[in-house]
A and B are shown apart, each in its own frame.
Chain A
Amino acid sequence: MSKRDGFIDITDVICPITFVKAKIAMEELTSGEILEVRMNDGEPIQNVPRSFKDEGHKVIDVIKNEDGTFTVFIEKDGL
């Protein structure tokens, strides 16, 4: 999974700014485009993908990185 239209790293902020930062990045894409989000384990990985689903976006892939972070691919308005 390498196709992406936007990328945001939210490992530098904590909840709930994690989702806000990711949401602002998503805002710049158009329907069907894919946002890649790098996030920490714990609260972010538990909450951010779910929050995106609640807003109608589709989580299409989740990759666990070697450094303990996660990379999540989300399709805008995919649900």
Chain B
Amino acid sequence: MKFTNEQMERYSRNIILNEVGVKGQIKLLESKVLIVGTGGLGAPAALYLAAAGVGTIGLVDADAVDLSNLQRQIIHSTTKVGKPKVASGREAINDLNPDVNVVTYQEWVSSANITDIIKDEDYDFIIDGTDNFPAKFLINDACVLLHKPFSHAGIIKFFGQTMTYVPGQGPCYRCVFLNPPPPNTVPTCKEAGVLGVMGGIIGTVQATEAVKYLLGIGELLTGRLLVFDALEMEFRTVTLASRKNCVVCGENPTLKDLIDYEQRACEL
């Protein structure tokens, strides 16, 4: 492909990087990333991936923009309150970078639709920007079964965590967390609160992981959980091992069908 003068200028800071270069930028423009949840995590992730020139971005969210979202969901704005989040997200991305093809899915992920959504554009990388355990386990299981890499993340209060799963290169989310906690034992961010920047910091780490994966550069958070405490301003990584008997990615997987756990989403 040939760069237009405008693309040359738009992506100049990427192209100058030896690790990206012309080939890397073309790779990004030909890449497809699915972002599940257009909220605190998905908003910054979507914006940075769009800015970087990821050619196709899928947005999944059934929700509409609420005024209380705007404290952290920076892809949306005051004039978009009441609009579907995926429509608001698409408009913001198109404004930022018209090179990006935005595909929207105005629905919640479930065992009934997630496989079709991932296969719809045969996405290269998936970002879990959801706010609830059922969705997180569902995304993990679907990605493992479809051999797709993904970035897990969660934020609450002043804490955040993220890890990256790449098939065959370390543990999946279920290796580490086994099963969702019982419903109502863990507060949602609606009940517990979350500092707005948490999504920015952790969602941006997720976007960084996606770009690195797509370019094949650097060390991913595979086999490592990055934990961030904003009050102490401390990042640390915890090394994680795969579980041989993991029900989804282990040696003799027994989980073949996706599970819809109970507990509906709060609005991240």
Seen from chain A, the residues whose Cβ lies within 8 Å of a Cβ on chain B are 16-17, 19-21, 23-24, 27, 51, 54-55
Which residue of B is nearest A24, CB measured?
B22
Determine if B9 and A17 form an interchain contact, defined as CB atoms under 8 angstroms apart. yes
Which residue of B is nearest A12, CB measured?
B5
Instruction: Fill in one digit per residue for B2-39: 1 if any A CB lies within 8 Å of its CB, else 0.
Output: 01000011001101101001110000000000000000
Interchain nearest-CB distance for A58 vs B (Å): 16
What number of residue pairs across chains A and B have CB atoms under 8 A from each other?
A: 27
Determine if B18 and A20 form an interchain contact, defined as CB atoms under 8 angstroms apart. no
**Roughly how many angstroms separate A38 CA and B16 CA in the complex, as a whole number?**
19
Please name 9 pairs of A and B residues whose Cβ atoms are closer than 8 Å in the assembled complex, sorted by A: A16-B13, A17-B8, A20-B15, A20-B16, A23-B15, A23-B21, A24-B3, A51-B16, A55-B18
Chain B interface residue count, CB cutoff 8 Å, equals 11
Describe B's contact surface by its main secondary structure.
helix
Seen from chain B, the residues whose Cβ lies within 8 Å of a Cβ on chain A are 3, 8-9, 12-13, 15-16, 18, 21-23
Interchain nearest-CB distance for A6 vs B (Å): 13
Interchain nearest-CB distance for A21 vs B (Å): 6
Query: In the assembled complex, which residues on chain A have CB atoms less than 8 Å from the CB atom of B13?
Result: 16
Determine if A24 and B8 form an interchain contact, defined as CB atoms under 8 angstroms apart. yes
**Roughly how many angstroms separate A19 CA and B15 CA in the complex, as a whole number?**
9
